[in-house]
Amino acid sequence: MAFELPPLPYAYDALNPYMSEQTLQFHHDKHHQAYVTALNNLTKDTPLADKSLEEIVKATYGDASKQTIFNNAGQHWNHILFWQVMRKNGGGAIPGELEAKIKEDLGGVDQFKEAFTQAGITQFGSGWAWLVVDGGKLKVTKTPNGENPLVHNQTPILGVDVWEHSYYLDYQNRRPDYLKAFLENMVNWEYVAELYSKAS
């Protein structure tokens, strides 16, 4: 079964002015589609063709001969989550159970936002910043390129793309401004809380 590019769960202009219609069209329709197309071409007529996306990510991690497959599978998985953790009029209050867990494990909402922002800022080059569930606890982490927390036995519940194509049209080289806008105005905290409930 070939992988497909899922449609965005909102209109292209839904995240304006924090993420422009041009950025969403370019990022979703061109970049994400390219990962899907490459992944289908790379796995066609191989034993991986019948595997789930998560299985492919885990099976190809650390195997130099399958690095290109891993890169595209990881990026496909990462972007599926990325689109879902954002919404129109995002940001705002974090649902109670998740907020309490953030306070317990990360010291508070402000401390979490600072740690998450720093993870995104300090990820050299391309990559991702994450909020994950690891051994029953919330942790902030980061990964390079298309790598994701699944390969470290962690469950991602929030991820932000810090590849330049995700923000350069709107923020140029101001990655900290992009990360602030993401946390304060784009995150779908209800969906993140739902993922936390499933993971905990």
Rg, the chain, Cα only = 16
27 annotated binding-site participant: yes
Q: How far apart are CA 176 and CA 182, in angstroms?
A: 10
Residue whose pair of structure tokens reads 């010291």 in the numeric block: 107
Per-residue b/e over 154-170, b at no fewer than 16 CB within 10 Å? bebbbbbbbbeebbeeb
31 annotated binding-site participant: no
Residue whose pair of structure tokens reads 């993870």 in the numeric block: 119
165 annotated binding-site participant: yes
79 annotated binding-site participant: yes
Counting every residue written for the chain, the total comes to 200
State the binding site. 27, 79, 161, 165
State the binding site for Mn(2+). 27, 79, 161, 165
